């Protein structure tokens, strides 16, 4: 048992039935309200200040615990009824969350009987980038342009406009890795046979190797890579220590077993690294320990494949939640999610 902390409080609740001027303990636990909710508007008396005004305030000293059976607080119009759910504040001080329900953000301070809201971090929505998922057999045409970029023709029933940013995910088979890339809608046509739209998408030059791999698989020159983990296209800044100085890159794809890091700094195959990234602004960095398994050039930038060898249970749970977030929510805020602080 801890020693009781005896303090004086003044209660602005006019219907409080407790004796004024008596010392109390455990001020947040008003014994007249059920489930340990505090008396609305209670505030500790300042040290050395005036005593609570008996004409306006009531205090209480009943012990709180299993032995103390709470009694309903009496008001001039009868017992206070705690109403849960949405609704307007009552004249006796009970708000939508009950009589003086504790706020998860403000604690016991700043309660006036009304609802208390918390500003949550903005999560990405579905308003910016559209994801087009299709099978390889549904591709109408893949054309390599003179500039070195690719243009693909995709049938879809999605409502798109020229210039829209889209992400295309092509499934090669149930046990093979899908190919994902993003681009811009260049032209929209009509498919007279099926009543669908034929969307012409220009793919970024940096994704040209993925389109070349896709063409090789479709034409039978290569076998698709078997899938071990589902890779989610992401856009997250990442950093790691390369020697004594920090290096920076961007995660382009992520899975429970590995990641692809796009960076302008060369990294040798077999190099052990510790990648540091943030999944949200309110928590510390996530640490992924692994090894560089391959390195190569994509367009005018270098990149490497990273295999995750070790992670803590907490980081594994955060990684799974991050993957679910990126898979469900695709929008313009994705590129700002998890930015590292300088």
Q: Report d(CA 179, CA 211) in Å as an integer.
A: 8
On whether both 50 and 157 belong to a single domain, the answer is no
Q: Is position 198 within any domain?
A: yes
On whether both 243 and 208 belong to a single domain, the answer is no
115-141 pLDDT tens trace = 333 332 333 333 456 777 777 777 767
17-69 pLDDT tens trace = 444 444 444 444 444 433 444 454 444 444 444 444 444 444 444 444 444 44
As for how many domains the chain has, the answer is: 3
On whether both 213 and 236 belong to a single domain, the answer is no
Q: Of 113, 139, 174, which marks where a domain is finished? A: 113
On whether both 2 and 106 belong to a single domain, the answer is yes
Residue 222 near residue 211, CB atoms below 8 Å: no
pLDDT of residue 128: 55
Nearest to 28 by CA among 112, 116, 101: 101
Q: Is position 36 within any domain?
A: yes
231 CB-side CA count, 13 A: 27
Nearest to 251 by CA among 260, 242, 239: 260
pTM of the prediction?
Answer: 0.35
Q: Which domain holds residue 198?
A: 130-218
What are the distances in angstroms from CA 172 to CA 180, 224, 232, 296?
A: 11, 7, 15, 23
On whether both 102 and 68 belong to a single domain, the answer is yes
Q: Of 190, 218, 246, which marks where a domain is finished? A: 218
Q: Is position 342 within any domain?
A: no
On whether both 243 and 298 belong to a single domain, the answer is yes
Range with the poorest average pLDDT among 19-23, 72-76, 89-93, 185-189: 89-93
Q: What is the DSSP letter of 335?
A: G
Nearest to 30 by CA among 52, 12, 46: 12
Q: Of 218, 246, 263, which marks where a domain is finished? A: 218
On whether both 57 and 145 belong to a single domain, the answer is no
The domain spanning residue 289 has which CATH number? 2.40.10.220
Helix, coil or strand: residue 213? helix
Structure tokens at 339: 């930015």
Q: Report d(CA 126, CA 11) in Å as an integer.
A: 48
Give me the sign of the Cα torsion angle 216, 219, 223, 229.
Answer: positive
Q: Is position 87 within any domain?
A: yes
Q: Is position 76 within any domain?
A: yes
96-111 pLDDT tens trace = 444 443 333 333 333 3
Q: Is position 341 within any domain?
A: no
Structure tokens at 144: 């390599």
Phi-psi map region of 338: left, alpha, beta (phi>0 left; psi -120 to 50 alpha): left
Torsion angle of alpha carbons 59, 62, 63, 69, nearest 10°? -130
Q: Report d(CA 63, CA 75) in Å as an integer.
A: 22
209-219 pLDDT tens trace = 888 888 888 88
Return the percentage of the chain with pLDDT > 90, whole number.
0
């Amino acid at each position: 048992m801890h020693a009781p902390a005896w303090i004086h409080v003044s209660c602005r609740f006019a219907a409080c039935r407790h004796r004024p001027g008596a010392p109390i303990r455990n001020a947040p636990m008003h014994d007249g309200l059920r489930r340990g909710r505090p008396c609305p508007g209670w505030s500790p008396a300042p040290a050395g200040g005036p005593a609570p005004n008996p004409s306006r305030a009531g205090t209480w000293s009943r012990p709180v615990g299993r032995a103390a059976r709470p009694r309903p607080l009496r008001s001039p119009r009868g017992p206070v009824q705690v109403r849960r759910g949405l609704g307007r504040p009552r004249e006796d001080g009970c708000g939508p969350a009950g009589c003086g329900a504790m706020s998860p953000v403000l604690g016991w301070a700043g309660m006036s009987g009304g609802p208390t809201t918390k500003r949550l971090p903005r999560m990405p929505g579905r308003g910016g980038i559209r994801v087009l998922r299709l099978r390889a057999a549904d591709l109408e045409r893949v054309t390599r342009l003179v500039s070195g970029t690719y243009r693909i023709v995709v049938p879809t029933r999605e409502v798109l406009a020229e210039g829209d940013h889209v992400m295309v995910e092509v499934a090669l088979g149930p046990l093979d890795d899908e190919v994902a890339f993003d681009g811009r809608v260049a032209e929209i046509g009509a498919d007279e046979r099926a009543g669908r739209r034929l969307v012409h998408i220009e793919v970024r030059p940096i994704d040209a190797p993925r389109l070349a791999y896709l063409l090789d698989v479709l034409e039978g020159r290569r076998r698709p890579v078997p899938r071990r983990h589902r890779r989610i296209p992401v856009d997250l800044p990442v950093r790691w220590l390369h020697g004594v100085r920090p290096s920076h890159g961007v995660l382009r794809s992520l899975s429970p077993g590995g990641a692809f890091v796009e960076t302008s700094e060369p990294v040798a195959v077999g190099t052990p690294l510790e990648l540091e990234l943030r999944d949200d602004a309110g928590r510390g960095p996530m640490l992924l320990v692994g090894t560089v398994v391959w390195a190569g050039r994509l367009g005018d930038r270098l990149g490497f494949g990273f295999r995750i060898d070790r992670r803590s249970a907490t980081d594994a749970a955060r990684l799974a939640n991050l993957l679910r977030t990126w898979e469900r929510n695709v929008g313009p805020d994705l590129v700002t999610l998890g930015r590292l602080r300088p």
